[in-house]
Structure formats: C-alpha cells, structure tokens
C-alpha cells in the first residue's frame, strides 16, 4: 500500500511538472512568434540594419569581410583619425602593461587609479571647466546627470531632436519636462516663460545634432537662459576635438564657453574612438555626481588601456590644433562637390554630411552598391531618423585625403544615376 501511494504521488508530481513545462514551452513559442513578426515587419519596411564585419583596425581605409580589396570608410565617428594613431595606440599598450586589463570593480571601491584622475584633470583643462567625472559611455553620463541635478521642483527644457541618451536620462528625473521645437528660440522662450515658477531650470541641447549635422544656436540659447535665469547643458559628442579654433567644441565655435554650465561628451569618437564618456562642469556638481550618479556608482571603471588611449588623444589636442583645423577644407570639398552633382546634403559646414534620399529601401540599396564600388557608408532610416527622412550619413575624417573624398563623390554619382537620384 505504501509503495502504491508513493507511486501515485510521484505520477501526480510528474504530470504537474509536465503540464508546467508544456505551459512554459507554449509561452516561449508565443513570444518567439511575436518577435519573428516584429522582425518580418522591419525587413518588409526596408529598415533592417545588417552589421558588416570589419577585419582590420578602424581608419580611412578598412578591410570588410567579403570584399577582396581595401575599402574607403566614410561612416565612422573617427573625426580626427586618432583611433589608429600610433601614439594613441602605444599609450594604450603602455597602460595595459602598467595597469592591467581592468579594475574588476567600480570607482569608489577599488576601481580608481591615478590614470583615471589624470584623464579627468586633462579633460577639465581641455574644456576649461572646474572638474570632470568619467563614465563608461556618454550614454551613461547622460543617464546619470539629470536625476541627480533636478528634482520635482525643477524644470528641464529639451530640444525635441536631442539624442536618445538625453531623452532617456531626462525620463529618469522627476523634474517638469518641456520640449521645445528643434532649434526654435521663440518656442524655447515660451517654455522658459511657462516654467518660471520652477526652482531651477536647465536648457538641454545637443551641440551638434548627429543625424543632420545641425549646430545648435547656442548664442541665442545662452541669451535666453540668462534673461530667464536658467542654466545651459550641451552634449558635445559630435563636436569635441574638432569644432572651434582649438577644437574645444560648439561652445568655443560660437564664443560661449563661459556661458555654458555643463558639458557631456565622449571618448568614443574624436578622442581616440575607444569607449567612455564624461561630464565637465562646476566642482560641486561633479562631487555630487560621484556620490549619487547611478551609472557611475554601479558600473566598472574604464579599463586602463582605454584611459591611456584617450589621455594621449587629449594631450595631442592640448598641444596643437593642427589636426582639428584640417577638417574644414575637406568637409567643404565633399559638400560642394556633392551639391554640384545634384545631391541634397543636410546641415552646414560640419563633417556629418547627410545625403538625403527619403526612402529607406533606396538608402539601403545605394549603400550596398557603394560598398561594391569600394566605399563603406550606411543607410539611416526609421527609427534612427524620422519616417520619410532616410539618408546616407557620410562622415569626413581628418585622415581622409582629397583623393579619398573625390573617389567617394564619384561613387555616389555613379550609384545615384543607377537609382535615378541624380541625372
């Protein structure tokens, strides 16, 4: 009788387990079907983002898996060509040998080395601000700032086309949120008037908007901020290192370095191209971020090789503006030649040169054809840019030669004629 009872109980447990397992399988199958449907929709819309495999170091000339020869790269944020600069690479090697691969910890526990503090000091000097705090990325810098600085009695006024990381960072804070129309000073003034009862107000904008290469009207923004008693924040990821007479960024370009209060930027573009981001600004703010900024407190510190590379990149720019000053002529060479050929190029005078096409599938097909002609570019479409605003975003680097630029333009003309974009 005992064994019969045990066997009966065991069978009941097994049936129950089998039933639970079947429900689990059904849930997974249902989720899989939902995901596959979403993916099919992306493919059908022509907005599928395939990742090409690069088999060489980053630079103006790269090797791409499936291509037999060297490819001209016009798609990287490597504005100054420093990601493969010999001195930058060697600095990373030296840091790896001296400090190891990583700290295995967050900064406040046992993850801060003297090279982190040295880089922070150099970045503060570069931007002419009081202090600096490093993050794993500028996305983390944007995620970590607003929640600490702003509370429910405050207001944040944000350009409607700000970078996704800014938008996500603002969502984390409890301040009143107001969006103003893209680079529209009149609408910004209306929002400043609307928020006058707030304790603190922060105007938030990209210095350069990455999809179009538009430069924010910082002079007018600072004028309004001062008139209505607000602070100004800019994200300088697509400006640091090459905009302005000394490459300090949009605020230097427009002569408002002393009127912009907080700057976030990246080490992952012009400053070596590896990883990392940072905030520079008033020392009390930086001190508070070290105490309360969640991405800083709960993320491993930047690996020493990354810090070494970025430090050398900043040192090169502090020593000379020669690299950054080579950008202007090359940028205008591309823009002028493409405009003369009949293409529409968004933005003005910035190395981000969006070739506007409108149709997502057309942008993708043209980018594929460009690769066959030896030029690496990528089509941008929704949700990266608004629907109907698909483009191929070309990015000029100081490492490109005039011959590289002319080759790219010729490939665009040939591909544009094939697809009926230009005659």
Report the C-alpha gap between 63 and 72 in whole angstroms.
9
238 as an active site residue: the answer is yes
269 as an active site residue: the answer is yes
Report the C-alpha gap between 279 and 235 in whole angstroms.
9
Q: Is 176 helix (H, G, I), strand (E, B) or coil?
A: strand
Report the C-alpha gap between 401 and 384 in whole angstroms.
29
Task: Considering the candidates 122, 127, 163, 238, report the single residue annotated as catalytic.
Answer: 238
158 as an active site residue: the answer is no
Q: List the one residue out of 376, 379, 380, 367 whose CA is nearest residue 407.
A: 376
Task: Considering the candidates 210, 324, 381, 397, report the single residue annotated as catalytic.
Answer: 210
Report the C-alpha gap between 82 and 219 in whole angstroms.
30
As given in the structure block, the two tokens for residue 105 are: 């910890």
**Where do we find the tokens 């003005």?**
348
If phi over 0 gives left and psi between -120 and 50 gives alpha, with beta otherwise, what is residue 375? beta
Angle between helices 86-99 and 304-319 (to 10 degrees): 140
CB 341, CB 412: distance < 8 Å: yes
Task: Considering the candidates 116, 122, 261, 269, report the single residue annotated as catalytic.
Answer: 269
**Where do we find the tokens 């996305």?**
139
CB 310, CB 119: distance < 8 Å: yes
End-to-end Cα spacing for the chain: 92
If phi over 0 gives left and psi between -120 and 50 gives alpha, with beta otherwise, what is residue 229? left
Report the C-alpha gap between 11 and 30 in whole angstroms.
28
Report the C-alpha gap between 323 and 334 in whole angstroms.
18
Report the C-alpha gap between 206 and 215 in whole angstroms.
8
Report the C-alpha gap between 123 and 299 in whole angstroms.
20
The residues that are catalytic are 210, 238, 269
């Amino acid at each position: 009788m005992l064994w019969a009872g045990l066997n009966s109980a065991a069978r009941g447990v097994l049936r129950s387990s089998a039933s639970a397992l079947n429900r689990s399988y059904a849930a997974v199958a249902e989720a899989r079907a939902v995901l596959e449907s979403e993916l099919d929709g992306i493919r059908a819309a022509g907005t599928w983002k395939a990742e090409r495999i690069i088999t060489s170091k980053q630079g103006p000339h790269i090797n791409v898996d499936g291509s037999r020869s060297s490819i001209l790269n016009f798609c990287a944020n490597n504005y100054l060509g420093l990601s493969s600069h010999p001195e930058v690479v060697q600095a990373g090697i030296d840091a790896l040998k001296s400090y190891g691969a990583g700290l295995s910890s967050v900064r406040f526990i046992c993850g801060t080395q003297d090279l982190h503090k040295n880089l922070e000091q150099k970045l503060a000097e570069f931007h002419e601000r009081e202090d600096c705090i490093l993050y794993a990325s500028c996305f983390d810098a944007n995620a970590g700032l607003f929640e600490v600085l702003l509370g429910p009695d405050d207001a944040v006024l944000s350009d409607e086309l700000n970078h996704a990381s800014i938008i996500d960072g603002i969502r984390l804070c409890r301040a009143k949120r107001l969006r103003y129309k893209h680079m529209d000073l009149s609408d910004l003034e209306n929002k400043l008037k609307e928020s006058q009862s707030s304790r603190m107000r922060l105007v938030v904008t990209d210095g350069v908007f990455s999809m179009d290469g538009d430069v924010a009207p910082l002079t007018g923004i600072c004028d309004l901020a001062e008139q209505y008693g607000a602070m100004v924040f800019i994200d300088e990821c697509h400006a640091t290192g090459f905009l302005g007479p000394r490459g300090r960024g949009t605020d230097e370009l427009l002569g408002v370095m002393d009127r912009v209060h907080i700057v976030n930027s990246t080490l992952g573009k012009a400053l070596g191209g590896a990883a990392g981001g940072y905030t520079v600004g008033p020392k009390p703010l930086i001190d508070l971020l070290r105490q309360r900024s969640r991405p800083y407190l709960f993320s491993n510190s930047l690996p020493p090789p990354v810090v070494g590379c970025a430090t050398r990149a900043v040192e090169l720019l502090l020593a000379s503006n020669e690299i950054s000053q080579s950008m202007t002529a090359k940028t205008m060479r591309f823009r002028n030649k493409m405009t003369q050929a009949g293409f529409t190029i968004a933005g003005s005078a910035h190395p981000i040169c969006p070739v506007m096409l409108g149709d997502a599938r057309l942008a993708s097909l043209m980018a594929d054809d460009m690769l066959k002609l030896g030029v690496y570019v990528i089509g941008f479409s929704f949700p990266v840019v608004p629907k109907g605003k698909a483009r191929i975003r070309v990015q000029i680097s100081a490492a490109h030669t005039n011959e590289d630029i002319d080759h790219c333009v010729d490939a665009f003309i040939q591909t544009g004629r094939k697809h009926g974009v230009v005659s």
